[in-house]
Amino acid sequence: MTNAMTNTGTPLVELRDISISFGGIKAVDNVTVDLYPGEVVGLLGHNGAGKSTLIKCLSGAYQMDSGEILISGKRVDIQNPRDARAQNIETIYQTLALADNLDAASNLFLGREIVGPGGFLDDSAMEAETRKIMARLNPNFRKFNVPVSALSGGQRQSVAIARAVYFNAKILIMDEPTAALGPQETQMVAELIQELKKQGLGIFLIEHDIHNVMKLCDRAVVMKNGQRVGTVNVNEVTDDDILGMIIMGKKPAKAA
Amino acid sequence: MSNNAHAPATKDAQMGAIARFLQATEINTRLLGMVGALLLIWGGFHIYGAVFNGQGAFITPRNLWNLMVQTSSIGIMATGMVLVIVTRNIDLSVGSLIGVTGMAMGILQVEILPDYVGIGHWSIWIITAIVGLALGALIGAFHGWLIAYRDIPSFIVTLGGLMVWRGMAFLSAGGKTIAPVDANFALLGGGPYGTVGEMGSWIVGAIAAAGVIWMIVAGRASRSKHDFPQRPMWAEYVLGALGLGLIAGTVWIVNAYPWPKGIVKDYAAANGLTLDPETTFISHGFAIPVLILLGVGILMTILMTRTRFGRYVFAIGGNPEAAALAGINTKAMTTKIFALMGMLSGLAAVIASARLNSATNALGTLDELYVIAAAVIGGTSLAGGVGTIYGAILGALVMQSLQSGMVLIGFDAAVQRIVVGVVLVLAVYLDNLYNKAVK
């Protein structure tokens, strides 16, 4: 397992001193986090701790008030989701962010459609590509020609994951990817995360389930009230230590 | 991850012949319902006329020809309203936009352009139409900007627009009516001279037929390229035959309506011909505004189904937040959609004022309601995300059929409004039932 202490070289992502406020409330307050290739960093904390907000600064959904983002050591300017995608940052949102009235292929390619001669959409090509990636991620998926509103929670999730994986992401953000899933589907997501790690992706994982954190993450960043409580190597602490950080907002003595 | 791999075999066995036919041909049941409603309305008025007035006047070449011309201006705007409603907005200002762009075009072609290029110059109608479309687009873009970048609800912006632009239409010429319009411009409104004639109509029909065949062939080629399942051959032939039959029937109808005797006489006199008005049969053929509607319908369908722009319209309607997260500039899209709606209103104003042969400040009054009703009857969901161009055009045809039918059998205006209002509510209710049944 990758260890923060042994992580050397340039981090894939560095979020430095990020702050963002909404109506006078500091949702994220001077938070610094980094992520190395082939690493899974868990972001933990109560609801409203600022995890999702922090991560939305990286995915381009929000614009931070201050701080800087470095990708592979280079400072980048991420103003909107297009900028993030250009940096090979892909996001699976908690809400999945699917257009319910469109089919799987249209959602997968939304904003990055395959066009043929004359700039017209090549729906057949997009469906063919969707069939290919779904065959890998969810071989039982059959509903290619219906709106995603007609799909089950797990199927919708697999469309959202396929969208993030298809475009050769280097940095993957997963906001509670297993919240709506059953045990078997959760296992599939866990296997996918392991596979992507091997390919050298860096993954930010927002997760509430402490067992998933212990199982999937290399490091865990705990946040409370918009501030970073601390960062720990998961294999050096117990789940009680992490729970303590989340609840008390203090780093355990031995890991400090 | 989970799946519902339903067993197609048992499902097929349960389906009746009609369901299998619909599945193989991929004919939309909603479309079928609208065509059924249309035929019911046409047949109903025709039979009512035959029974109570001694003569069924509805299903005649003359009435159907007029119906098409009357539908064109509302139909053109309804195609734009689909985009507006699909993105969860509304545009109440289109009727007033007709008024103000119509007046602007009237003043331009009657009082300004003749001073520069001379009365009756060939370029007048072109400049006028371009200015009308551009003015409509500009006003629409302004509405869209207020909605997207200043966060004012579209209902309020366009309600304001409804009053402002109607007032502007009045002020632009102090309430005067401007008539007559340029002779070439007037052709855009239809009328006996504003048609393409018998041969022209067959040429239009031939082009349309070639288009239908090309779509079927190209569709098969595209499916086979990616090894997708093909429609059965018989279904392709049925679809082709339906398409070609509809085209041939329409051409036949517009060609079966002859010029009135007076027009034949005028035409003969103007061209130094000797024609016997009693025996000469000169077909109207397709009216120019109807061809404009068909052209707009085809272009808008391509825009909505085959381009990124159209895909984004649907995505914004389905989930605005998801569209934005996918990198779509939703504010710019809203501005463009309203600009397009404005431009189509300008085009509708060209047809409406050309047809009246005059520009009045009351032109297009209440049109916004008919346009919205047409889009909604055509299956556009006010909740957003769902709608088709052909549906909106059919919806406009349904509305116009009701109105024109009631005029033919002599219902007065008050009854007409009651019926149209009831039909609108009923249509949406039936649509709800349909959607629940489909789920």
Name chain B contacts of A115, Cβ cutoff 8 Å.
308
What pLDDT, on a 0 to 100 scale, did the predictor assign at position A253? Answer: 61
Q: Count of A–B CB contacts within 8 Å?
A: 111
Name chain A contacts of B322, Cβ cutoff 8 Å.
95-99, 110
C-beta of residue B46 within 8 angstroms of C-beta of residue B332: no
How far apart are alpha carbons B364 and B344 in whole angstroms? 13
Band of residue B15 on the pLDDT scale cut at 50, 70, 90: low
Q: Look up residue B355 and give its two tokens.
A: 């047809």
Q: Give the pLDDT confidence of B112-169 residue by residue, as tens digits.
A: 999 999 888 999 999 999 999 999 999 999 999 999 999 999 999 999 999 999 999 9
Residue B133 placed within a domain: yes
What pLDDT, on a 0 to 100 scale, did the predictor assign at position A7? Answer: 67
Pairwise CB contact (< 8 Å): A111 & B327: yes
CB atoms within 10 A of CB B437: 8
Residue B36 placed within a domain: yes
Pairwise CB contact (< 8 Å): A111 & B318: no
Regarding whether B273 and B383 lie in a shared domain, the answer is no
The distance of A237 to chain B (nearest Cα, Å) reads 32
B319 interfacial to chain A (CB closer than 8 Å): yes
What pLDDT, on a 0 to 100 scale, did the predictor assign at position A101? Answer: 94
Question: Among residues B258, B283, B308, which one ends one of the domains?
Answer: B283
Band of residue B437 on the pLDDT scale cut at 50, 70, 90: confident
Mean pLDDT taken over chain B: 90
CATH number of A1-88+169-256: 3.40.50.300
How high is the mean pLDDT in each 10-residue block of chain A (256 residues)?
Answer: 58 93 90 94 90 92 93 93 93 91 95 92 92 88 90 88 90 87 83 90 91 90 91 88 84 59
Band of residue B7 on the pLDDT scale cut at 50, 70, 90: very low
Q: Which of A103, A124, A156, A184 is most worth mutating to test chain B (most B CB atoms within 10 A of its CB)?
A: A124
Name chain A contacts of B4, Cβ cutoff 8 Å.
143, 152
Regarding whether B133 and B237 lie in a shared domain, the answer is no
The distance of A256 to chain B (nearest Cα, Å) reads 37
Q: Which of B295, B381, B288 is nearest to B82 (CA)?
A: B381
What pLDDT, on a 0 to 100 scale, did the predictor assign at position B14? Answer: 56
B417 vs A173 pLDDT, higher one: A173
Pairwise CB contact (< 8 Å): A141 & B385: no
Q: Give the pLDDT confidence of B306-353 residue by residue, as tens digits.
A: 999 999 999 999 999 999 999 999 999 999 999 999 999 999 999 999
What pLDDT, on a 0 to 100 scale, did the predictor assign at position A47? Answer: 85
How far apart are alpha carbons A218 and A235 in whole angstroms? 7
Q: Domain-by-domain residue ranges, chain A? A: 1-88+169-256, 103-168
The distance of A3 to chain B (nearest Cα, Å) reads 31
C-beta of residue B250 within 8 angstroms of C-beta of residue B206: no
Band of residue B438 on the pLDDT scale cut at 50, 70, 90: low
Regarding whether B292 and B271 lie in a shared domain, the answer is no
Q: What angle do CA B125, B126, B130 make, to 5 degrees?
A: 115
Q: What angle do CA B100, B105, B106 make, to 5 degrees?
A: 95
pTM of the model: 0.91
B321 interfacial to chain A (CB closer than 8 Å): yes
Name chain B contacts of A60, Cβ cutoff 8 Å.
327
Regarding whether B427 and B374 lie in a shared domain, the answer is yes
Residues 69-128 in B contacting A (C-alpha not used; CB under 8 Å)? none
Q: Is B250 left (phi over 0), alpha (psi -120 to 50) or beta?
A: alpha
Regarding whether B320 and B274 lie in a shared domain, the answer is no
Q: How many domains are contained in chain B?
A: 2
Name chain B contacts of A113, Cβ cutoff 8 Å.
308, 311
C-beta of residue B89 within 8 angstroms of C-beta of residue B334: yes
Question: Among residues B229, B262, B283, which one ends one of the domains?
Answer: B283
Highest mean pLDDT among A176-180, B17-21, B415-419, B429-433: B415-419
Residue B100 placed within a domain: yes
Rg (CA), chain A: 19
Query: Does residue B16 have a pLDDT over 60?
Result: yes
Band of residue B105 on the pLDDT scale cut at 50, 70, 90: very high
What pLDDT, on a 0 to 100 scale, did the predictor assign at position B252? Answer: 95
Contact residues for A3 (Cβ-Cβ < 8 A; gap 6+): A218, A233, A235
- Its domain, for residue B424, covers 29-194+287-438
Residue B296 placed within a domain: yes
Q: Select the residue of A93, A119, A127 nearest B325 (Cβ to Cβ).
A: A93
Please give the ipTM for the structure prediction. 0.89
Chain B residue with CA closest to A190: the answer is B1
Contact residues for A238 (Cβ-Cβ < 8 A; gap 6+): none
CATH number of the domain enclosing B431: 1.10.3470
Regarding whether B268 and B405 lie in a shared domain, the answer is no
Q: Look up residue B306 and give its two tokens.
A: 């085959």
Chain B residue with CA closest to A148: the answer is B318
Regarding whether B297 and B263 lie in a shared domain, the answer is no
Question: Among residues B283, B318, B346, which one ends one of the domains?
Answer: B283
Name chain A contacts of B1, Cβ cutoff 8 Å.
137-138, 140-141, 154-155, 157-158, 181, 184-185, 188
Q: Give the pLDDT confidence of B27-63 residue by residue, as tens digits.
A: 778 888 889 989 999 999 999 989 988 888 899 999 9
Residue B2 placed within a domain: no
What pLDDT, on a 0 to 100 scale, did the predictor assign at position B434? Answer: 78
Highest mean pLDDT among A200-204, B218-222, B266-270: A200-204
Q: Which of A60, A113, A212 is nearest to B307 (CA)?
A: A113
What pLDDT, on a 0 to 100 scale, did the predictor assign at position B392? Answer: 96
Band of residue B1 on the pLDDT scale cut at 50, 70, 90: very low
Give, as one character, the DSSP assignment of residue B108. I
Regarding whether B366 and B242 lie in a shared domain, the answer is no
Band of residue B397 on the pLDDT scale cut at 50, 70, 90: very high
Regarding whether B95 and B145 lie in a shared domain, the answer is yes
Q: Select the residue of B308, B318, B321 nearest A113 (Cβ to Cβ).
A: B308
Residue B9 placed within a domain: no
Residue B24 placed within a domain: no
Band of residue B11 on the pLDDT scale cut at 50, 70, 90: very low
What pLDDT, on a 0 to 100 scale, did the predictor assign at position A21? Answer: 93
What pLDDT, on a 0 to 100 scale, did the predictor assign at position B439? Answer: 59
Band of residue B4 on the pLDDT scale cut at 50, 70, 90: very low
B230 interfacial to chain A (CB closer than 8 Å): no
Regarding whether B204 and B183 lie in a shared domain, the answer is no
Place of tokens 């088709």: B388
Regarding whether B303 and B260 lie in a shared domain, the answer is no
Q: Which of A224, A83, A210 is nearest to A91 (CA)?
A: A83
Regarding whether B432 and B306 lie in a shared domain, the answer is yes
Q: Give the pLDDT confidence of B251-266 residue by residue, as tens digits.
A: 999 999 999 888 888 8
C-beta of residue A6 within 8 angstroms of C-beta of residue A235: no
The distance of A164 to chain B (nearest Cα, Å) reads 11
B324 interfacial to chain A (CB closer than 8 Å): yes
How far apart are alpha carbons B48 and B38 in whole angstroms? 15
